Structure 1
Amino acid sequence: MVSRLISRVRLSRFKKIVALAILFCLAVLAALGLTQFWQRPVTEAPGSAVAAETIISTEPIQPIPLSIELDQGKVQLGDLLFHDPRLSADNTVSCATCHALDKGGTDRKALSIGMAGGNTGINSPTVFNAGFMHRFNWDGSAESLEEQAKGPITSVGEMGGMSWQDVVRKVGEESEYREGFAESYNDGITPENIRDALAVFQRSLYTPNAPFDQYLRGQKDAISDEAKAGYDRFKSYGCVSCHQGMLVGGNMFQTLGIFGDYFADRGTPITEKDLGRYNVTNNELDKHVFKVPTLRNITLTSPYFHDGNPKTLDEAIKLMGQYQLGVNIPQEDVDLIMQFLQSLTGEI
């Protein structure tokens, strides 16, 4: 995609102008309603089915399905595992420590804290609607929820770095797990089945029926006039060129700092070592490339960005304008865009 191409090269001033022109054209297409460019069907979450409807959106954003089908036995097992601190080496940290469901699926810390106070070096992205994503982690290093589950459990800085043999042993000590895995999996408790149960549970954490989704489905009074104006601004400024699709993001990668050195200007707490660790390609040009985050439920997940640097949504919008679009968005438009973003909060 255009954004990915831009992120892989050192942009000269000329290339920056070209990039801005392309982003502007994409925004104009959306704003003018040239729908054939944007049309795409709602896609299903992995391992699930969209319930009784096939919606073709005429907007660059599509609604989240109202229901999906999942194995409820595996969902319940995954729920137990997700909240169980025994998956950490010292029995103090669970998946929910960094992805609390009552905090928008995050921990609301700038940089998440792992076992024994270890600094993970990164901001925890929300776990809500993860089942609709095609890549995971800020660097996109995991291709599935099952693969992503390997990382935190075996990471020394996050959950202590247990071996999967030890994880299976600890899980197998509990009768509730032994019975549950026997009912849901033919081969009982295995590393693959533990990761599968965690993945199925996370797929159940979708947030449908946001006011904006109701609006997309034809209920024109589901959002305020201010939110509608904010959506128009969101498209006209070009935000929608990276934040589109069902998750309003989450489906591409982008360089942070197309129109300025974000890292030098902001004094980001992410170190060069951390940037190297989260650079999955090991290419110097990709050091500042991150997965574009979803904007679903964005009002619940502060602070923002991979480094938790902007503490408020107001600040995050202005920084995106400055560093990604090369514009200073006036406060009036920022306020309208926030009204639109608030309409993206779904039913938890």
Structure 2
Amino acid sequence: MRKEREMGQAGLIGFMQVGIVMLVIGFTVLLLMVQFELGPLGGMSTGKKWLLSLILGSGMVAFSIKLFVIAMLVNFPEHTIRAQLAAQSVRPAVLRQPAQVARHDRPPSVRKGYVWRALPDVAPSPAWNPTTPEKVALGERLFHDKALSIDRTVSCSSCHEVRRGAGMDGRRASLGVGGQLGARNAPTVWNAAFQSVLFWDGRAASLEEQAKGPPLNPKEMGMPSLEAVARRVREGEGYREMFDAAFGAAQPITIDRIVAAIAAYERTLITPDAAYDRFVRGDESALSAAQLRGMELFQSVGCIQCHSGPNFSGASVFDPPPSPQRLFPVFAAQKYADRYSLTSDVGANVPGNKQGVWRIPSLRNVALTAPYFHNGSVDSLREAVRIMATVQRGREIGNDANGNRRIVWSKQDRTIARVGSAPLSESDVDDIVEFLKSLSSESLALRNRGS
């Protein structure tokens, strides 16, 4: 190989020497032709002769440079080019010590990457429906009023318990009027104000639009029409005064004002008091070593590709991606699909498909909101992590150091490489679970333990 390199360099130098000699000879011949033949023939002055010589000479120089570049690429040793390309793609190895986490105010050699952010203290509201104390008070009463259901037995809070719980009912599927069982798991209403689309399939574009859905669902609240809902509210004692305070005197009680008040109340149901938030705001003691390891894994495994931003959802109002929905499952994992019926409901996808299309849920308070997934089929957060790592990120779970990685030899290029991703160990899964626990509101966690 060294001999090949020396021969290539010698050939290139020899070509350069011959090229320079030929360039000098060619330029001299060109100059003589312009001065003594072309110039007199065209009746050119001395200045025009030199200008023509310069123009023709620059073309000759440019052509010579192109020949030189071609010769250099042809003679440059192939192994040198390949080594330079390989050096660009190889990342330095980093040793991760599970028991210790180093902290630096400004790490000197870390590339800028994903920026972790805390949840804001206030949820945004549309300009046409600003959040006011009067509107919030009205919305809270409506949210808990069972008169909004056909048999006066179900309210919004029946499935989304916020006074004593984490914003859901803890069932695989919720109970509606007449004891009917719904088709999907009730997601938490906490921090729903930060989501850009609502419902599991993302069919509602705002809290106001979402609030019109459950009253008309025959299995949930069973009302015959939105006007029937407004009529029930008009009949309710004390509502007239509350609507006057919230929207102005003598304004009619309509379904649009009803859902506007409910949405205003829901925009106060936010939890910026998680240990994660304290850590991102500067309290480096807020997370344990296991949670920090889990935080790094959450990033390196690629969970942040969907569960991003302060609300840990790509379907949120923070830097939303082109689509707030994702295919699920991405990778075939029949054991999980069969065991938990993951594909029996395909959400927003066309019926008959083998993959569902679902809104990206928030992971805020996820440790408090079991069971998991659209059908509530998984009770354990640890199992939910295993499923997501397998069917969404294509990672194997186990302590085999090689996992699904393969050794690939290229006969043509004479290169060898290890492809595929390393598996997640059981301790990695535990660390991710611990990090997810840090997303729980401390006030909600205390309330859950108390109840």
Please indicate the TM-score interval, normalised by the length of the shorter structure.
Answer: 0.7 to 0.9
**Contact 1:256/1:262 (8 A) holds in 2:** no
How far did residue 223 of structure 1 move? 1.2
Amino acid at match of 1:236: S
Q: Are residues 1:225 and 2:280 paired?
A: no
Residue 288 in structure 1 maps to residue 356 in structure 2: yes
Count of residues in correspondence between the two structures: 293
What TM-score results when the alignment is normalised by the length of structure 2? Answer: 0.61
Tell me the alpha carbon deviations over residues 234-283 of structure 1, each in whole angstroms, 9 at most, x when there is no partner.
111111111111111151311111111569733445785x54xx42x647
Quote the Cα distance in structure 2 between the aligned partners of 1:77 and 1:270: 39
> Could you say which structure has the greater relative contact order, defined with CA pairs below 8 angstroms and 6 or more residues apart?
1
* Residues 177 and 286 (structure 1), Cα distance of their counterparts in 2 relative to 1, 3 Å cut: farther
- C-alpha distance after superposition, 1:290-338 (max 9, x if no partner): 1111110111100001011111101100111111111123221111111
1:83 alignment counterpart: 144
Deviates further, 183-192 or 145-154: 183-192
SS at match of 2:358: strand
Mapped to 2, the partners of 1:233 and 1:264 lie a distance apart of 22
CA contact (8 A) 2:223 2:229 kept: no
SS in 2 for 1:156: coil
Structure 1 position 161, deviation (Å): 2.8
Correspondence for 2:234: 172
Q: % of aligned pairs identical?
A: 37
Check if 1:331 corresponds to 2:426: yes
Q: TM-score, normalised by structure 1?
A: 0.78
Contact 1:121 / 1:270 at 8 angstroms: preserved in 2? Answer: no
Do residues 203 (structure 1) and 257 (structure 2) align?
Answer: no
SS at match of 1:290: strand
Q: What is the one-letter code of the residue matched to 1:206? A: I
Deviation of 1:78 after TM superposition, in Å, equals: 0.7
The answer to whether the 8 A contact 2:168-2:186 is kept is: yes
Q: Distance in 1 between matches of 2:276 and 2:220?
A: 35
1:138-287 → structure 2 map (5 Å cutoff): 138-186=200-248, 187-251=251-315, 252-261=324-333, 265-268=337-340, 272=344, 275=346, 278-279=347-348, 282=350
Contact 1:99 1:124 in 2 (8 A): yes
Counterpart check, 1:127 vs 2:193: no
Equivalent residues of 1:111, 1:308 under 8 A apart:
yes
What corresponds to 1:307 in structure 2?
375
CA apart distance, 1:119:
2.0
Structure 1 residues without counterparts, runs of 5 or longer: 1-24, 39-58
1:66, distance to aligned residue in structure 2 (A): 2.5
Task: Confirm or deny: 8 A CA contact 1:122 1:270 kept in the other structure.
Answer: no
Matches within 5 A, 1:26-105: 34-35=111-112, 38=114, 59=115, 61-67=116-122, 70-101=131-162, 102-105=164-167
Q: Let me know the Cα RMSD of the aligned residues.
A: 2.4
* Unmatched tracts of structure 2, length 5 or more: 1-90, 95-108, 125-130, 316-323, 398-423, 445-451
Are residues 332 and 82 of structure 1, via their aligned partners in 2, closer, same or farther at CA, if it must alter by over 3 Å?
same
- Alpha-carbon distance between aligned partners in 1 of 2:265 and 2:393, rounded to the nearest angstrom: 37
| 1:127-155 Cα shifts (integer Å, max 9, x gaps) | 00111110001111000011001110111
Cα distance in 2 for partners of 1:34, 1:98 equals 45
Q: Is the 8 A contact 2:333 2:390 kept in 1?
A: no
Give the AA of the match of 2:328.
L
